[in-house]
Amino acid sequence: MKENNNAVSKSELPKSFGYCFKLMLFFAIGAIVLFLISYNNKGLSEKNTLILHALPIVFMAIAVVFAIIIAIILIIN
């Protein structure tokens, strides 16, 4: 029997795409959850409130960085 060498491989994208995509989803969902937690907390001290309001922004920034990396991976391929 002759094998078909023209078949497309199962995964055309590198493994780093999958890792970046999972990390992006983790940080984006984490930012949403942290935003909801910070929005509903009223009785915290000033310092804790500042940290809770800053964390969603940091998480979203990290998610955007991973989204840019994903875009670069897609452009290269």
pLDDT at residue 19 tops 90: no
Residue 3 lies inside a defined structural domain of this protein:
no
Q: Is the pTM of this model over 0.85?
A: no
* Number of folded domains that form the chain: 1
Residue 20 lies inside a defined structural domain of this protein:
yes
Mean pLDDT over residues 2-16, rounded? 62
Q: Which residue has the higher pLDDT, 36 or 13?
A: 36
Structure tokens at 49: 């409130």
Residue 9 lies inside a defined structural domain of this protein:
no
The H or E element containing residue 9 is none
Per-residue model confidence as pLDDT tens digits over 24-64 = 999 999 888 888 887 776 666 666 777 778 888 899 999 99
Residue 35 lies inside a defined structural domain of this protein:
yes
Please report the pLDDT score of residue 53 as a whole number.
80
Residue 48 lies inside a defined structural domain of this protein:
yes
Range of the structural domain that residue 54 is part of: 15-76
* Nearest-angstrom CA–CA distance, 30 and 58: 10
Residues in the chain, total: 77
CB atoms inside a 10 Å sphere around CB 24 = 19
